Homo-oligomer: A and B are copies of this chain.
Amino acid sequence: MSPSPARITAVDTYDIRFPTSRELDGSDAMNPDPDYSAAYVVLRTDAADGAEGHGFAFTIGRGNDVQVAAIDALRGHVVGRSVDELCADPGSLSRDLVGDSQLRWLGPEKGVMHMAIGAVVNAGWDLAARRAGKPLWRLLADADPAWLVGQVDFRYLTDALTPKEALELLRRGREGAAERAAALRARGYPAYTTSPGWLGYSDEKLTRLAAEAVAGGFRQIKLKVGADLADDVRRCRVARAAVGPDIRIAIDANQRWDVDEAITWTNALAEFGPYWIEEPTSPDDILGHAAVRRAVAPVKVATGEHAQNRVVFKQLLQAGSVDIVQIDAARVGGVNENLAILLLAAKFGVPVCPHAGGVGLCELVQHLSMFDFVALSGTTDDRVIEYVDHLHDHFAEPVVIRDGHYTAPTAPGFSAAMRPGSVAEFTYPGGTFWAADRARRDIDNGKGQVACRK
């Protein structure tokens, strides 16, 4: 009797939270005190090789439990699936999750439920890439264009992009792919860094980190703006003085402004030559971004980290709202939907500069940009992946930055697996860090005896 085919046997979820708010890492005009967190999911299998798939949604603290509950709600669609069938067609998982008509009501295709789908779909791709023995970027770049088209949900897209056009883009993208893959392995993919620019940092820290960024090979940095105009003027001046005239400085308002305010504020910072203004207003405001873009040129407009799905990206492109498309690996419905967004950007000729940082977003999104370079857009001109130097040590295969570039991953998978020690330490509320933290607080509050007696 032949052994029964391998199945997914469990969907294990973890509420992982890091106490980042205590250092003001990640502070911006809308998010003063984030605790970077991940609703982490592992697909377990009974495959002989012990294969697993890892994925996560990124959150900034409170509500990470809601995100975990949403992933848990998908379990019934996942457990029992054939591993081989999933790996041969990750789109089958995506379609079943997006297509659950009852769960769809909770979006549709947006917010908590859609991020949960993205986490599980990404875990499916991690599993597929591991079993293929390739990093995800290479699995995608090597894939047959027709198969890739089959991975995309074109619903609501066909007025802007048809499957036939997508196939043509992917076929053209394959020309010269081998040479570009070699160049990628040799040089990596250009990065920019947000590490100097958090709102909570002093001018001295900003200056030091900005100079370090340039010395480290970065050609672009990013500053958070939008809380106080006089502060922003000063910080932009400090940053420009630190990096000189040739380094690009992007500015990021994290959705802080209304349309008119975005225009006034951005123009007030124009003298410092910002390269792009990011998230000037609501991520839902397609027409608002278009109005801002018309009024602040030549400063470019960038958005997308909070754009909920491909339908919003489609319209941002149709309306001429953006100069830069910022995909996020863990906001939309996973790799399949990001393929759709990369194809839309290619169709409209708009460069993709991914959002990253947070927990593991750098690890994931590098694969998508590298695929885009090797086998779709074919260029890194005016393209950079965000880099923030937080929390990489918690991942089994952390990103490697060399001379301002992301090094191409070589390990099989999507780089999504967290270190077991980090999971044990930062699981909330039961992990060792949080348990010790509660004990410390109880002692500080004079409750030490009570806590010990429990």
Footprint of B on A, CB under 8 Å? 30-35, 59-63, 65-67, 69-70, 73, 100-115, 154-159, 255, 258-260, 281-288, 291, 306, 308-309, 311-312, 314-315, 318-319
User: What are some 16 contacts across the A-B interface (CB < 8 A)?
Assistant: A31-B101, A33-B101, A62-B100, A63-B73, A63-B103, A65-B73, A66-B113, A69-B69, A106-B112, A107-B111, A108-B255, A110-B284, A284-B309, A284-B315, A285-B315, A286-B286
Contacts of A311 in B (CB 8 A): 282, 284-285, 288
In contact, B59 and A65 (Cβ under 8 angstroms): no
Q: Is the CB of B30 within 8 A of A158?
A: no
A240 to chain B, nearest CB (A): 29
- Chain B residues lying within 8 Å of A66, measured Cβ to Cβ, are 66, 69-70, 73, 106, 112-113
* Complex alpha-carbon distance, A34 and B104, angstroms: 11
Cα-based distance from A32 to B318 in the complex (angstroms): 32
> Smallest Cβ distance from A342 to chain B, in angstroms?
19
Contact yes or no, A70 B112, CB < 8 A: yes
CA distance A73 to B37 in the complex (A): 15
| Residues on B with beta carbons closer than 8 Å to the beta carbon of A306 | 108
Kindly identify which residue among B108, B111, B159, B318 contacts A114, using a CB–CB cutoff of 8 Å. B111
Contact B308 A103 (CB under 8 A): no
User: Which listed residue, B35, B61, B112, B286, touches A111 by the CB 8 Å rule?
Assistant: B112
**A62 → chain B, closest Cβ, in Å?**
4
State the CA gap A107–B283 with chains docked (Å): 10
CA distance A286 to B286 in the complex (A): 9
Q: Could you tell me if B105 and A59 are in contact, using CB atoms closer than 8 angstroms?
A: yes
Residues from chain B with a CB closer than 8 A to the CB of A102 are 31, 33-35, 59-63
Residue numbers in B under 8 Å from A158 (CB-CB): 258-260
Beta-carbon nearest neighbor of A30 in chain B: B101
A110 in contact with B110 given A63-B102, A159-B260, A308-B284 (CB within 8 Å) = yes
- Given A110-B308, A112-B112, does the pair A30, B104 have CB atoms closer than 8 Å? yes
Which of chain B's residues has its CB closest to A155's CB? B258
Q: Which residue of B lies closest to A76 (CB)?
A: B62
A286 touches B287 (CB 8 A): yes
With a CB–CB cut-off of 8 A, which chain B residues contact A60?
101-102, 105
Closest to A331 in B: B105
Known: A108-B306, A284-B110, A308-B284. A103 touches B259 (CB 8 A): no
In the complex, residue of chain B having the shortest beta-carbon distance to the beta carbon of A316: B287
* Residue in A59, A105, A113 with the greatest tally of chain B CB atoms within 10 Å: A105
A65 adjacent to B69 (CB under 8 Å): yes
Q: Is B284's CB under 8 angstroms from A67's CB? A: no
Closest to A319 in B: B287
Contact A156 B258 (CB under 8 A): yes
Contact between chains at B70 and A103 (CB < 8 Å): no
Bound state CA distance, A103 and B64, in angstroms?
A: 8
**Cβ of A104: which chain B residues have Cβ within 8 Å of it?**
30-31
Query: What separation, in Å, do the CA atoms of A314 and B286 have in the docked complex?
Result: 11
**Closest Cβ of chain B: how far from A153's Cβ, in Å?**
11
Shortest distance between the CB of A327 and any CB in chain B (Å) = 17
Q: Which chain B positions have C-beta within 8 A of A312?
A: 284
Contacts of A282 in B (CB 8 A): 108, 155-156, 311
